[in-house]
């Protein structure tokens, strides 16, 4: 059975893909022999790309995202578009677009893959051949599913990887990253897709790096801070215990460990994140009105009537909720009280991180406060309870800091993740730490 047939077989059972294809590479290089899945919000030329939403049904891009172009040039074969929460709105990949299937956890089909890059993480765990997943994160959408599915997931510094060809959720937060079974494959994937891109105004001019060179450097002499608030109330005790066991592995390798408080992030990160993300999302999604962008319908009534009917018929409940909340928070009379205040809080949280990195090489915490919940448990959660699941992941995303989730053991047979956060553009350090954790298993 070849890779595409095997992918279809797995997908029939787990719903990891919105679209399966076989896009041949345009060259030979570092990814020759690898099959690469791409999150549905990242465009692939001539392959239906919907960002998990019915409003983009039938859209086949006429160009490749920069990361896709790089992958093809390095010999990677694109095998499809992975399932996600609609436009990235969710922590469990249950907010899929109308007519789309929810991806199932690769270890327990009654549980969530995590979100919003659930399909990417689930397939990474199951793929029986050489595979790397290209995913995307706004507030934890790479590390959350990586933790729930027991794989590695790296979200890079904001601007390190080009966003050209990424369908926006929140423009100041969105980042494209990598998932894989092994840390050397994370380093390989990031080495391919990182680099400056003139087509992306937010692209950093950082020098292109081979992150594979970091894998043999070791961690002796490093100083790592354990985020104090991450192990307290709200995080499952067994998860905290497993994370501390992994930290001891680092101590045995010559790492100095010390607790560090991040009170501002603990108190304000969730509120600031959701205000900023929803305001930016409501703006970015305004173009999907059924005229120039988005699914067309029969022209009836005035523009507002047509606009509302197209969006009502094709957007899911969570998308509508976030558009309404974001639009409210950026309206005249409320903008200063909510959106601007959230931006000011974000700046203070970034400074808190920067102060911590004056003392530490990296920071450590659990990735998620719980193991992957069952779908029956998710149905009982309120929207606020859903949002609270992002408590550990939104801080690094607000600050644009690189972070990686690594497998850290199990609870009840389900994976636990440990998250390593580094200073901006210090992906090399967190890759070295992740390698030390991998070797310590």
Catalytic positions, written as ranges:
39, 116, 141
Query: Can you tell me which residue has the tokens 């095997």?
Result: 6
Query: Can you tell me which residue has the tokens 């909510």?
Result: 338
Query: Can you tell me which residue has the tokens 């709105």?
Result: 89
Residue 158: CB partners within 8 Å, gap ≥ 6? 172, 173, 175, 202, 400, 424
What span, in angstroms and rounded, lies between the C-alpha atoms of 309 and 328? Answer: 20
Q: Mapping DSSP to helix (H, G, I), strand (E, B) and coil, where does residue 397 land?
A: helix
Which of 323, 321, 317, 332 has the alpha carbon at shortest distance from 281?
323
Q: What is the DSSP letter of 87?
A: G
Residue 181: CB partners within 8 Å, gap ≥ 6? 124, 125, 127, 131, 151, 152
The overall longest dimension of the chain from CA atoms, in Å, is 70
Residue 316: CB partners within 8 Å, gap ≥ 6? 53, 54, 86, 95, 96, 97, 98
Chain centre to alpha carbon of residue 35: 20
What span, in angstroms and rounded, lies between the C-alpha atoms of 165 and 148? Answer: 27
* CB half-sphere exposure, 362, CA atoms < 13 A: 27
What span, in angstroms and rounded, lies between the C-alpha atoms of 265 and 350? Answer: 9
Query: Can you tell me which residue has the tokens 């009654």?
Result: 110
Is the CB of residue 111 less than 8 Å from the CB of residue 16? no
């Amino acid at each position: 059975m070849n890779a595409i047939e095997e992918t279809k077989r797995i997908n029939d059972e787990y719903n990891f893909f919105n679209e399966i294809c076989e896009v041949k590479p345009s060259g030979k290089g570092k990814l020759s022999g690898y099959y690469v899945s791409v999150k549905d919000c990242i465009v692939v030329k001539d392959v239906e790309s919907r960002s998990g939403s019915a409003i983009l049904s039938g859209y086949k891009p006429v160009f490749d995202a920069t990361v896709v172009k790089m992958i093809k040039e390095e010999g990677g074969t694109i095998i499809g578009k992975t399932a996600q929460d609609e436009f990235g709105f969710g922590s469990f990949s249950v907010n899929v677009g109308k007519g789309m299937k929810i991806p199932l956890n690769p270890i327990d089909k009654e549980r969530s893959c995590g979100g919003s890059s659930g399909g990417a993480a689930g397939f990474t765990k199951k793929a029986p051949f050489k595979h790397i997943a290209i995913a995307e994160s706004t507030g934890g959408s790479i590390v959350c599913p990586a933790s729930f599915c027991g794989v590695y997931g790296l979200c890079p510094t904001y601007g390190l990887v080009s966003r050209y060809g990424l369908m926006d959720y929140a423009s100041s937060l969105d980042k494209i990253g990598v998932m894989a079974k092994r840390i050397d494959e994370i380093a390989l994937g990031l080495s391919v897709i990182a680099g400056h891109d003139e087509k992306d105004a937010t692209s950093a001019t950082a020098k292109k790096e081979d992150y594979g060179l970091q894998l043999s450097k070791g961690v002796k002499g490093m100083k790592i801070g354990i985020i104090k608030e991450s192990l307290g109330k709200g995080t499952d005790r067994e998860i905290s215990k497993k994370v501390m066991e992994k930290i001891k592995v680092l101590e045995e390798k010559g790492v100095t460990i010390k607790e560090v408080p991040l009170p501002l992030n603990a108190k304000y990160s969730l509120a600031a994140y959701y205000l900023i993300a929803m305001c930016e999302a409501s703006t970015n999604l305004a173009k999907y009105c059924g005229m120039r962008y988005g699914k067309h319908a029969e022209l009836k009534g005035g523009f507002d009537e047509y606009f509302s009917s197209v969006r009502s018929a094709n957007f899911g409940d969570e998308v509508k909720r976030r558009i309404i909340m974001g639009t409210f928070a950026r309206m005249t009379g409320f903008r200063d009280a909510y959106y601007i205040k959230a931006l000011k809080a974000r700046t203070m949280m970034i400074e808190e991180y920067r102060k911590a990195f004056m003392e530490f090489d990296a920071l450590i915490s659990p990735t998620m406060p719980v193991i992957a919940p069952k779908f029956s448990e998710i149905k009982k959660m309120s929207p606020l309870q859903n949002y609270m699941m992002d408590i550990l992941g939104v801080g690094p995303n607000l600050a644009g800091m690189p972070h990686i989730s690594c497998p850290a053991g199990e609870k009840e047979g389900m994976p636990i993740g440990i998250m390593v956060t580094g200073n901006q553009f210090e992906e090399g350090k967190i890759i070295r730490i992740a390698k030390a954790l991998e070797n310590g298993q």
